[in-house]
Structure 1
Amino acid sequence: MTIENRALTGDVIRALPKVVLHDHLDGGLRPATVLELAAEVGHDLPASDAESLASWFADAADSGSLERYLETFDHTLAVMQTPEALARVAREAVLDLAADGVVYAEQRWAPEQHLRRGLTLQATVDAVQRGLDEGVAEAAAQGRTIRVGQLVTAMRHADRWQEIAELAVANRANGVVGFDIAGAEDGFPPSRHAEIWSYLAENDFPVTIHAGEAAGPESVAAAVHLGQASRIGHGVRLVEDIAFDPGHPHSAPGESGTAALGQLAHWVRDHQIPLELCPSSNVQTGAATSIAQHPITRLKELDFAVTLNTDNRLMSRTSMTQEMTLLVEQAGWTIDDLADVTMTAAWNAFVHHDERRALVDDVILPGYQLVEGAQL
């Protein structure tokens, strides 16, 4: 690749094909949509216009208060309780991702959080899939190709893990590509309902687990060894199992230094278990101090299987283009770095190997080559 960092403008980065594996459906609504849906159901919001509401979500997420951060989801979930609302949010998510250059995405969400107005679990999955299908078709009509799968999530603090796992498996032919657990990480480990991991493995069903964000390496270990996770949602605190040279902070751009990996870090790297890292979100929640010092750069230098993600686009006021741009501007990333994390994500998507190969060979590589050859 020959593009220099000074030429990696927002427009250039936006044109790159992207893959996002960690993006929450209830964390990516358009502010205007939240306003309209809230008016329909009589839900009170903290702001009355789209720009002010967008700022409120970002400010609440930036506040350093877990209570205020969680309050943001009270508002998005409140307006996602009907089939029409779920389908609309899913359709718009696909369109927004496609407009940002995303060619493959997995949308994770928890069906059990959308039952307040009488929907069944199956009805929520059907509604979301209808919206995803509509979004993919509409994006195609606009000349944009994108593929999107559902990641069905069980909430850690609830006791519906087996039921939600069975729902996910039952819908593998209806757009569901994997299973996840999310929510309060610390204190609610995978061992809470250990039997579901055998169930999912016996059904050859892909698993990713939120771990290593609010809790440390022990959470990653439980996800990998007990949960048999194929990917780790976040995993940023895995760096706590790595001893870095004094004077070589793990995030220093362009500095290699030496690092002594602990047994878990070796295991994750040796097995190339992908880390679904989300820089902006991790800074907001305190899992990282800044983009410049985010462990994603050092982990990538150490040859971990690093992927780049958005987490909650509304709360972080971000996009894949924004995440890439921040790393270029603040952590010294090059187009080679962007290509590497995109390819890693594509090769670890929850689709079959031949489909991954087609995504890489037919979409991602040509897209990067086209941008590389552009007159900048």
Structure 2
Amino acid sequence: MTPTELEAHIAELPKVLLHDHLDGGLRPQTVIELAADAGHELPTQDSAALADWFEDAADSGSLVRYLETFDHTIAVMQTADALRRVAREAVLDLAADGVVYAEQRWAPEQHLTRGLSLQETVDAVQAGIVEGTALAAEQGRTIRVGQLVTAMRHADRWQEIAELAVANRDNGVVGFDIAGAEDGFPPSRHPEIWRYLAENDFPTTIHAGEAAGVESIREAVHLGQADRLGHGARIVEDIAFDAEAGTATFGRLAHWVRDHQVTLELCPCSNLQTGVAETIRDHPITRLKELDFAVTLNTDNRLMSRTSMTNEMTRLVHEAGWTIDDLADVTITAAWSAFVHHDERRALVDDVILPGYQKIEGAQL
């Protein structure tokens, strides 16, 4: 199958998305309408111009500047109705993109300014997910979505948020995360939280290896006992490449991450904006995949990066020479890394992903 032929089929391929922020995927028109209700001032009232503004503001090469764009989206997500709507629309947009399994991460502590309790925010998001799943089914699309409850690194509510996540494990929450400014706010800020999560057999992913490097990853996998790394791209800093000899020499941490198949939640388009890489061709995702790391493909923030899973896949095919086998590999790895039980992962791979890929003429998996 040629790249051109493959690109024509990418939209219909089943996709698995592990790293997608709820507050980074709003529809521009939804932001405008919710901002009017909240009395929040936006840079523009035109949906197309607002989409341009988010992309341009995020496209600064700085993670700190990138995170500032969330001031607007979080501001309009402060009521139960707003949270429910955003979650519902996220599910519908992902399903329309061919996503069959997704985990939506978000920080409940950022949605309390208009009187909601932490539990009420989780309930509202879950209601939206349920509504969106049902509406997608009516449209002939099957999707399953779980919540990843996130604590903000710079705040000191990690224990409270972890307890919230564990308390809602039967209410749609599938895992725990920490996010926000990575450099200067390591997992060791609150070491007791990781013991609590482990004692409760609760899945964990930690943002690491995006704005900070190897030491951030080391704490995430050893102290935080992370099942997955949010991004993790900078693990390449622990690998010495000899282009002339065509060899790669691993440091001890790189060996550990690969040997234990710690899942990397890589987000190419977003990483171009935050300065992890300059081009899709140069992004570490291809090299790490070739070295047999547990690589997955993700969107991160669909609004800020103006992206989708179809776009991420298409750019890798067009700009980095990926094949249908490459796309299948990262999709299957993502399915096996999902925060659901083993039999559910197997069913996702055997009953949904493989049949979906095998429908594509010329695919030999």
Give the TM-score normalised by structure 1. Answer: 0.95
Counterparts of 1:1-376 in structure 2 under 5 Å? Answer: 3-9=1-7, 11-66=8-63, 68-247=65-244, 257-372=246-361
1:114 counterpart letter in structure 2: H
CA distance in structure 2 between the aligned counterparts of 1:324 and 1:366, rounded to whole angstroms: 18
1:7 counterpart letter in structure 2: E
Secondary structure of 1:174's aligned partner: coil
Secondary structure of 1:103's aligned partner: strand
1:152 counterpart letter in structure 2: V
CA distance in structure 2 between the aligned counterparts of 1:67 and 1:227, rounded to whole angstroms: 23
CA distance in structure 2 between the aligned counterparts of 1:25 and 1:344, rounded to whole angstroms: 22
Q: Is the 8 A contact 2:228 2:265 kept in 1?
A: yes
Q: How much does 1:65 deviate?
A: 4.7
> Could you say if the C-alpha distance between residues 141 and 45 of structure 1 is closer, same or farther in structure 2, counting changes exceeding 3 Å?
same
Give the TM-score normalised by structure 2. Answer: 0.98
1:74 counterpart letter in structure 2: D
CA distance in structure 2 between the aligned counterparts of 1:288 and 1:247, rounded to whole angstroms: 22
Q: Is the 8 A contact 2:62 2:275 kept in 1?
A: no
Q: Is the 8 A contact 2:262 2:294 kept in 1?
A: yes
CA distance in structure 1 between the aligned counterparts of 2:16 and 2:80, rounded to whole angstroms: 27
CA distance in structure 2 between the aligned counterparts of 1:240 and 1:161, rounded to whole angstroms: 29
Identical pairs, percent? 80
> Could you say if the C-alpha distance between residues 92 and 159 of structure 1 is closer, same or farther in structure 2, counting changes exceeding 3 Å?
same
Q: How much does 1:371 deviate?
A: 1.6
Q: How much does 1:8 deviate?
A: 1.4
Q: Is the 8 A contact 2:62 2:273 kept in 1?
A: no
2:250 counterpart letter in structure 1: L
> Could you say if the C-alpha distance between residues 67 and 215 of structure 1 is closer, same or farther in structure 2, counting changes exceeding 3 Å?
closer
What do the CA deviations read for 1:313-343 (whole angstroms, capped 9, x no partner)? 0000000000000000000000000000000
CA distance in structure 2 between the aligned counterparts of 1:324 and 1:65, rounded to whole angstroms: 24
Q: How much does 1:247 deviate?
A: 4.6
CA distance in structure 1 between the aligned counterparts of 2:73 and 2:15, rounded to whole angstroms: 25
Q: How much does 1:48 deviate?
A: 1.2
1:85 counterpart letter in structure 2: A
CA RMSD, Structure 1 to Structure 2 (Å): 1.1
What do the CA deviations read for 1:167-200 (whole angstroms, capped 9, x no partner)? 0000000000000000111111101110010100
> Could you say if the C-alpha distance between residues 211 and 92 of structure 1 is closer, same or farther in structure 2, counting changes exceeding 3 Å?
same
The answer for the alignment partner of 1:251 in structure 2 is none
CA distance in structure 2 between the aligned counterparts of 1:243 and 1:70, rounded to whole angstroms: 31
1:355 counterpart letter in structure 2: E
> Could you say if the C-alpha distance between residues 261 and 137 of structure 1 is closer, same or farther in structure 2, counting changes exceeding 3 Å?
same
CA distance in structure 1 between the aligned counterparts of 2:64 and 2:153, rounded to whole angstroms: 17
Secondary structure of 1:37's aligned partner: helix
CA distance in structure 1 between the aligned counterparts of 2:207 and 2:60, rounded to whole angstroms: 22
Secondary structure of 1:259's aligned partner: strand
Q: How much does 1:66 deviate?
A: 4.7
CA distance in structure 2 between the aligned counterparts of 1:140 and 1:73, rounded to whole angstroms: 30
Secondary structure of 1:8's aligned partner: helix
CA distance in structure 2 between the aligned counterparts of 1:162 and 1:309, rounded to whole angstroms: 27
Q: How much does 1:372 deviate?
A: 3.2
CA distance in structure 2 between the aligned counterparts of 1:161 and 1:96, rounded to whole angstroms: 30
Q: How much does 1:373 deviate?
A: 5.4
Secondary structure of 2:69's aligned partner: helix
CA distance in structure 2 between the aligned counterparts of 1:223 and 1:114, rounded to whole angstroms: 26
Q: How much does 1:67 deviate?
A: 5.2
CA distance in structure 2 between the aligned counterparts of 1:22 and 1:297, rounded to whole angstroms: 18
Q: How much does 1:58 deviate?
A: 0.2
1:351 counterpart letter in structure 2: V
CA distance in structure 2 between the aligned counterparts of 1:124 and 1:84, rounded to whole angstroms: 10
Unaligned 5+ segments in structure 1 are 249-256
Q: How much does 1:68 deviate?
A: 3.9
Q: How much does 1:115 deviate?
A: 0.2
What do the CA deviations read for 1:135-158 (whole angstroms, capped 9, x no partner)? 000000000000000000000000
